[in-house]
Amino acid sequence: MSKVMLVTGGSRGIGAAVARLAARRGYAVGVNYHARADAAQAVVEEIRQAGGRAVALQADVSQEDQVVRMFRALDDELGRIDALVNNAGILEQQMRVDGMSAERLLRVLSTNVVGSFLCAREAVRRMSTRHGGQGGAIVNVSSAAARLGSPNEYVDYAASKGAMDTMTIGLSKEVAPEGIRVNGVRPGTIYTDMHASGGEPGRVDRLKSVIPLRRGGTVEEVAGAVMWLFSDEAGYTSGSFIDVSGGN
């Protein structure tokens, strides 16, 4: 039987790259999406045409009832989860703190932190040897912003990713004795739609000069690091972070 992975926000960008690579490595993949069923279905079809197994699963990860329902659907359609990638995330328009509302901060925290927490909780309930599970692994897609703070741009987003990193450390220690490893990947500036939603489509190119490797990263480069953390070679790695950020 193939191992089962759930990738949140798996219909595009980094999440879709992880879903495709995981399928090539033999995982049956749950491709979570929020609103774009067509995009998620396209990733699923691509995986199926290459001989893999995948299903599209709708849920807004910030909503507890929807996350619970999504995990039940994953159980029914692919079987018990072995690997979770908490990838769904949002970045709002670039803004200094002076103009930022509390509502905006709460929105960002809801998806990036609450969403990751809820999915991790549902995964632990299924993976933990304490609950009769067989163990597993979780990778949280954080950001270099957690270290750098994103001044004048997105301190709310950076704070949410910092919270994800602290949750990664705490969870890793809590569930390690139950056979579950928890790690994080911190992408730097990667070519995806996220930068357009942040209000500056040419942002990656503008930032090249401050990236030591002098270029933005690709989604495949992030997916490779994520998949290493699920590999047997990473069997003694937990509570760790891989920076995929061009030297920053």
The residues binding ligand NAD (CB under 6 A) are 8-9, 11-15, 32, 34, 60-62, 87-91, 111, 115, 141, 143, 187, 189-190, 192-194
Task: List C-alpha distances in Å: 70 to 34, 52, 96, 241.
Answer: 11, 20, 36, 27
CB of 1 to ligand NAD, least distance (A): 27
- How many other CB atoms are there within 10 angstroms of residue 45's CB atom? 12
Of 13 and 52, CB closest to ligand NAD: 13
Beta bridge partners of 243: 186
Of 60 and 221, CB closest to ligand NAD: 60
Q: Which residues are catalytic?
A: 157
Residues written for the chain: 248
CB of 160 to ligand NAD, least distance (A): 8
Of 61 and 139, CB closest to ligand NAD: 61
Of 13 and 133, CB closest to ligand NAD: 13
**Beta-carbon contacts of residue 212 (< 8 Å; ≥ 6 apart):** 246, 247, 248
CB of 129 to ligand NAD, least distance (A): 29
CB of 179 to ligand NAD, least distance (A): 26
